[in-house]
Amino acid sequence: MATPDRRQWGVWQWLDERIGLADLAKLARKKEVPVHRHSIWYYLGGMTLFLLMVQVTTGILLLLYYRPSAEEAYESVQFLMAEVQFGWLIRSIHSWAANLMIFTLFVHLFSVWLLKAYRPPRELTWLSGMGLLGLALGFGFTGYLLPWNELAYFATKVGTEITGAVPVVGSFLGRLLRGGDEVTGATLTRFYGIHVAILPALTVFLLGLHLFLVQRHGMSVPPNVEGHQAARRVMPFVPNFLLRDLVGWLSALAILAALAAYYPAELGQKADPFASAPVGIKPEWYFMFMFKTLKYLPASILGIEGEIVGVIGFGLGGLFLLLVPFLDRRTARGEPSHLFTMIGIMVIVYMIVLTYLGYTEVATQ
Amino acid sequence: MGVGGTGSLLTLGFLAVVAWPMPAEAQAPPEGCVACHLEIGDDRLVTPAKEFQEDIHAAKGFGCTACHGGDPKAAGMEAMDPAKGYIGKPGRQQVVQVCGRCHSDARFMRQYNPALRVDQVVEYRTSGHGRRLLEAGDTKVATCTSCHRAHTIRPPSDPRSSVHPLKVAETCGACHGDAKYMKGYPVPTDQLEKYRRSVHWKMMSVKGDLSAPTCNDCHGNHGAAPPGVSWVGNVCGQCHTVMAESFAKSRHAKVFAQMGSPGCATCHENHEVTEAGDEMLGLGAAAVCTRCHSSEDRGGKTAAAMREQIDTLRAEYDKAHTILQKAEHAGMEVSQAQFELNEAKNALVKARATMHAFTIEAVKREIEPGLQISAKAYERGVRALEELQFRRKGLAVSVVIILALIGGLVFKIRQLERR
Amino acid sequence: MTEQVLARDASRRKFINWFLATSAGAFFLSVLYPIARYLIPPQAGESTAASVTLPIKLADVKPNSGQIFKFGNRPAILIRTPAGELRAFSAVCTHLNCTVQYRSDLTHIWCACHNGHFDLNGQNIAGPPPRPLDQYVVNVRGEQIVISKGA
Ligand code: HEM
Ligand code: FES
């Protein structure tokens, strides 16, 4: 709270003269959050951001003990879990927060979609958000392999094989990703580099852009609310909204701690590239709907291999998702767009149903 | 051990071996035999010629005439001229001489396989098979070719060989498991069936442990004969030394010998040696002791006491093992305790071996330290799980703190927004 | 608004601020505590699953002797052959998992449980053990002996 006497405070003044704290404070005071019946969705982005901070912190801590090679990865994680004090906690939180973060990310994405927050001038915010989704999925995919256990090994094998179905560049992409023709120690080292250097760097860039745009445009008010409400109610971001954010973050942290204490991350068996695949290998839950779709596709569709059709389909789906702000002309013109609401709901239902099927169906290879 | 009246026969046999023309050096024979035999169209004549191409002897450069005699250079029927040493299909008795001609000649054999023994014929003469064949002229018994085959002979290390460890039981069983064939002989025909149920066969066939015993490991191969009642222990003791030693010193060793009971096999069977378990000991339903003892006599009491000792240690070991595993899965560091617990497992295994001395003291000597180790390991497991409890307590504390902070924030928001 | 209400408000605000500051402080401590403990290097400096530095000095290992050491949670055996060479094997007997030992009178490895014998290369040479013992790699770093699983 900017009380008047703060201005006379030595450190504040010293910093203010050098980096212009007063300007920042003015900026913060000016930022407002609209209040209406859909305001709750404004918390999702911040929640995702908080979980990313948790990931960065715990990830950096994990780096102190982790060793990225096929010979030592599993052993180092085992050591971390058994010998390092609170190692189980750090690793379990990293693994749980990763899942929660992807979850909140999806909720964030679909709430933005259904509230049509992507309409002009926020197309770039949407695009950078989609980029962040890709990065998060990349984090999840590469991180899953790092403990070098049996389950992760075979899930990665299947996962990278799917890239082979991409037309033309597929096999090259597969090789690029695996660092060779097979999932080996080379893949592990590669995934490690992607996981802890490449993706974080890209994330800093895209997240900066995302937040900058959010700050620049302010929060969008859903079109169906905009029309109805005569007097536009708002709430200052600092401190009112921020304090509410904090409540959410702390609750998430408490949930994370409980999950870590009751369901610590498991390690399982060390990966053995020469063993046969165990039954019921599963990808991470957020890849399940794609995994399941590919399984349901017939071996051949119109003379093309089913898997290739599926991969192309997901590619086009991703492209569609990316271009939603540009395809939805009605919303851009300020008219209600039921079509895109329907599509959004259908995508959500599709993902939920296939994920459900993926987990309930008996595992047969 | 001379067998009296057979002396002359033995000499005759030796004479035959010596009188046979010296074994020919192996040379790649441009033999006419195969050329015709493959064309003849009579399976009995074609098959040997075909099969022999994969025989170890063919691989070493021997041809048909090495065993069958005759003239390899002659192109037509004149090759099979008895005057040129042609013998046709050797008779059952003749086979031993045909093979022995080379295989008993150390000087000759060492050119091919210096490690191969050269006493097969000598051994064979002492075997049940050999004595029947050579003394009683019984041609139903096994000779060299019965087990090694005639034209598909391969070294025992070759998995296709009829005498590869995995095939031996089948090879012996071909006759010994055939009740019709064995009619008139005073031996049972269920050995193969029983052996197939034994732990030895399981080790061999399932675990692929080729050193596990099959027929010849106990009965000998060329000197095949049943191990006598008195020395069955020696046979088993080849591998199961500790048990055999304890047993030899035990009261049972003497008593069993007096009773004419076959040592180890009295309790463990001979062919159907099933996996020994703790249930065999004591006075329970599956216990073998009850065949002679009851809870009334001293033996029965000892049996029950030994069993109790072993059971106690097993239970204590399991308890400690389970709790440590639980702790390990929860991510606790218990490797030192697990390491030490191995000793308790050792003690249990040793107690099971030394119980063959049939005294409570011998078993106790192994059990007691095992119990102490188990107790200590269990203690550590308990402590590890308490530590896990501590995690939950830590969680509770931090959740309380977080809730307090949330409460404070909520109050603050309320206070700020009170108009 | 009366004076009284104002005073009550002020003390209330003071209490809330105090409560907030205290619980925030406790919160930061509860986050920092596990992190600080995490940063303290554990007793076993690194993972012992793939390699272990023995608590035995090279000078204390006499030729024709052997000793058991802990490798992960399983026993292993370090032997020094009569010729002075160092070798290490898993000490878990391949028969029924007893711990093997070195017999200097026999100059090879022996399992007491069922009299299993292994030669100085870990090969099973007599008794019931069906397979050789797993061999490990021995490295000597000054006076230290480091055992690791083979590549
Ligand atoms: C700069 C940020 C990050 C760093 C430095 C980092 C570092 C690491 C390291 C060293 C591991 C291996 C240790 C282990 O497997 O337990 C790991 C695992 C993992 N990471 Fe990250 N990470 C970061 C961000 C993320 C993010 C944003 C996600 C989520 C999308 C993520 C998801 C995962 C997953 C799923 C695992 C496997 C967890 C498991 O062991 O089960 N990481 N990370
Ligand atoms: S356990 Fe080693 S010989 Fe049986």
Within 10 Å of residue B88's Cβ, how many Cβ atoms? 11
Confidence of residue B365 (pLDDT cuts 50, 70, 90): very high
Question: CATH number, domain at C141?
Answer: 2.102.10.10
Confidence of residue B419 (pLDDT cuts 50, 70, 90): low
- C115 and B242 within 8 Å at the Cβ level: the answer is yes
Same domain, C11 and C31: yes
- C98 and B346 within 8 Å at the Cβ level: the answer is yes
Question: A133-137, A294-298, A349-353, B397-401 — which is least confidently predicted?
Answer: A294-298
Confidence of residue B13 (pLDDT cuts 50, 70, 90): very low
CA A196 to chain centre: 15
Of the options 1.20.140, 3.90.25, 1.10.8, 2.20.28, the CATH number for the domain spanning B298-417: 1.20.140
Q: How many residues does chain A have?
A: 365
Mean pLDDT for chain B?
85
Q: Which residues are B187's β-sheet partners?
A: none
Task: Identify the three-state secondary structure at position A362.
Answer: coil
Q: Which residues of chain C have pLDDT under 50?
A: none
How far is the C-alpha of B264 from the C-alpha of B200, rounded, in Å? 15
Phi/psi at B233 (5° precision): -60, -35
Q: Give whole-number Cα distances, B380 to A89, B329, C42, C75, in Å.
A: 22, 15, 19, 18
Mean pLDDT across A87-100: 94
Q: Which of A86, A93, A94, A191 is the best mutation target for the ligand 1 pocket, counting ligand atoms within 8 Å of the beta carbon and taking the most?
A: A94
Atom 4 of ligand 2: nearest residue by CA position: C114
Q: How far apart are the first and last CA of chain A?
A: 61
CA B314 to chain centre: 27
Mean pLDDT for chain A?
88
Is residue C70 within 8 A of residue B339, CB to CB? The reply is: yes
| Nearest ligand, measured from the Cα of A199 | 1
Atom 12 of ligand 1: nearest residue by CA position: A146
Domain ranges of chain B: 1-153, 154-226, 298-417
User: For C47, which of A78, A85, A86 is closest by C-beta distance?
Assistant: A78
User: For A84, which of C42, C48, C50 is closest by C-beta distance?
Assistant: C42
Same domain, C5 and C60: no
Mean pLDDT across B269-298: 90
Residue B10 has pLDDT above 50, yes or no: no
**How many Cα atoms sit within 13 Å of B246 on the Cβ side?**
21
Is residue A96 within 8 A of residue A256, CB to CB? The reply is: yes
Same domain, C75 and C130: yes
Q: How far is C87 from chain A (nearest CA, A)?
A: 22
How far is the C-alpha of B411 from the C-alpha of A111, rounded, in Å? 29
The answer to whether C42 contacts chain A (CB < 8 Å) is yes
pLDDT digits (tens, 9 = 90+) for A155-193: 898 888 888 888 888 888 888 888 888 888 899 999 999
Residues 319-348 of B with CB under 8 A from A: 328, 330-333, 335
Q: What integer pLDDT is reported at residue B352 of this predicted model? A: 92
- The larger pLDDT score, comparing residue A295 to residue A105, is at A105
Mean pLDDT across A185-210: 95
| Nearest ligand, measured from the Cα of B242 | 2
Residue A131 has pLDDT above 90, yes or no: yes
- C34 and A84 within 8 Å at the Cβ level: the answer is no
Mean pLDDT across B322-344: 82
Is residue B359 within 8 A of residue B309, CB to CB? The reply is: no
Q: Which of B8, B11, B10 is nearest to B131 (CA)?
A: B10
How far is the C-alpha of B251 from the C-alpha of B255, rounded, in Å? 6
Mean pLDDT across A43-51: 95
Is residue B362 within 8 A of residue B354, CB to CB? The reply is: yes
Confidence of residue B320 (pLDDT cuts 50, 70, 90): very high
Q: How far is B326 from chain C (nearest CA, A)?
A: 15
- The larger pLDDT score, comparing residue B47 to residue A268, is at B47
- Give the pairing type, strands C124-126 and C144-149: unpaired
Residues of B in contact with A243 (CB under 8 A): 409, 412-413, 416
How far is the C-alpha of B225 from the C-alpha of C46, rounded, in Å? 60
> In this structure, is the dihedral angle defined by the CA atoms of residues A289, A290, A293 and A295, taken in order, positive or negative?
negative
Burial letters B17-53, b for 16+ CB under 10 A, else e = eeeeeeeeeeeebebbbbeebeeeeeeeeeebbeebe
Residue A230 has pLDDT above 60, yes or no: no
Is residue A243 within 8 A of residue B409, CB to CB? The reply is: yes
> Token pair of B354, please?
């030394």
Mean pLDDT across B361-366: 92
Task: Identify the three-state secondary structure at position C80.
Answer: strand
DSSP string, B211-273: TS--HHHHH-STT--PPPGGGHHHHHHTT-HHHHHHHHHSHHHHHHHHHT--TTHHHH-SS--
Residue A253 has pLDDT above 80, yes or no: yes
Q: Which of C83, C98, C79 is nearest to C147 (CA)?
A: C79
In the reported structure, the alpha carbon of residue A272 is separated from the centroid of ligand 1 by a whole-number distance in angstroms of: 22
* Cα B295–Cα B296–Cα B297 angle in degrees, nearest 5: 100
pLDDT digits (tens, 9 = 90+) for B101-146: 999 999 999 888 888 889 999 999 988 899 999 888 898 999 999 9
Confidence of residue B21 (pLDDT cuts 50, 70, 90): very low
Confidence of residue A272 (pLDDT cuts 50, 70, 90): confident
| pLDDT over 90 percentage in chain B | 38
Phi/psi at C74 (5° precision): -115, 150
Q: Which of A53, A202, A77, A207 is nearest to A143 (CA)?
A: A77
CATH of domain A31-267: 1.20.810.10
Q: What integer pLDDT is reported at residue A227 of this predicted model? A: 65
Same domain, C71 and C126: yes
Q: What integer pLDDT is reported at residue B31 of this predicted model? A: 64
Contacts of B334 (CB under 8 A, 6+ apart): B324, B327, B328, B380, B381, B384, C73
pLDDT digits (tens, 9 = 90+) for B400-412: 999 999 999 999 9
Q: What integer pLDDT is reported at residue C87 of this predicted model? A: 93
In the reported structure, the alpha carbon of residue B251 is separated from the centroid of ligand 2 by a whole-number distance in angstroms of: 25
How far is the C-alpha of B145 from the C-alpha of B100, rounded, in Å? 12
Is residue A260 within 8 A of residue A89, CB to CB? The reply is: yes
Q: What integer pLDDT is reported at residue A231 of this predicted model? A: 56
**Number of domains forming the structure of chain C:** 2
- The larger pLDDT score, comparing residue B319 to residue C44, is at B319
Confidence of residue B12 (pLDDT cuts 50, 70, 90): very low
Environment class of B298 (CB within 10 Å of its CB; exposed 0-12, middle 13-18, buried 19+): exposed
Environment class of B235 (CB within 10 Å of its CB; exposed 0-12, middle 13-18, buried 19+): buried
Count of A–C CB contacts within 8 Å?
Answer: 44
pLDDT digits (tens, 9 = 90+) for B62-116: 888 889 988 877 777 888 888 888 888 888 888 999 999 999 999 999 888 888 8
The answer to whether B411 contacts chain C (CB < 8 Å) is yes
Residue B236 has pLDDT above 50, yes or no: yes
Query: Nearest-CA residue of chain A relative to C38?
Result: A85
The answer to whether C63 contacts chain B (CB < 8 Å) is no
- The larger pLDDT score, comparing residue B283 to residue C45, is at B283
Q: What integer pLDDT is reported at residue B316 of this predicted model? A: 96
Q: What integer pLDDT is reported at residue C49 of this predicted model? A: 61
> Token pair of A25, please?
């404070």
Domain ranges of chain A: 31-267
Confidence of residue A31 (pLDDT cuts 50, 70, 90): confident
Residues 290-319 of B with CB under 8 A from A: none
Is residue B341 within 8 A of residue B377, CB to CB? The reply is: yes
Domain housing C55: 51-149
Residue A303 has pLDDT above 90, yes or no: no
How far is the C-alpha of A310 from the C-alpha of A298, rounded, in Å? 10
Confidence of residue B269 (pLDDT cuts 50, 70, 90): confident
Q: Which of B360, B356, B362, B169 is nearest to B267 (CA)?
A: B356
* Cα A242–Cα A243–Cα A248 angle in degrees, nearest 5: 95
Tokens 């003990």 found at: A65
Residue B1 has pLDDT above 60, yes or no: no
Q: Which of C74, C73, C66 is nearest to C138 (CA)?
A: C66
- pTM, to two decimals: 0.65
Residue B2 has pLDDT above 50, yes or no: no
Helix axes A242-262, B360-417, angle to 10 degrees: 170
Mean pLDDT across A108-131: 93
Q: How far apart are the first and last CA of chain B?
A: 120
The answer to whether C23 contacts chain A (CB < 8 Å) is no
Question: A91-105, A115-129, B235-249 — which is least confidently predicted?
Answer: B235-249
Q: Give whole-number Cα distances, B155 to A178, B61, B116, B209, C112, in Å.
A: 46, 15, 10, 18, 35
Q: Which of A268, C66, C69 is nearest to B342 (CA)?
A: C69
Residue B8 has pLDDT above 80, yes or no: no
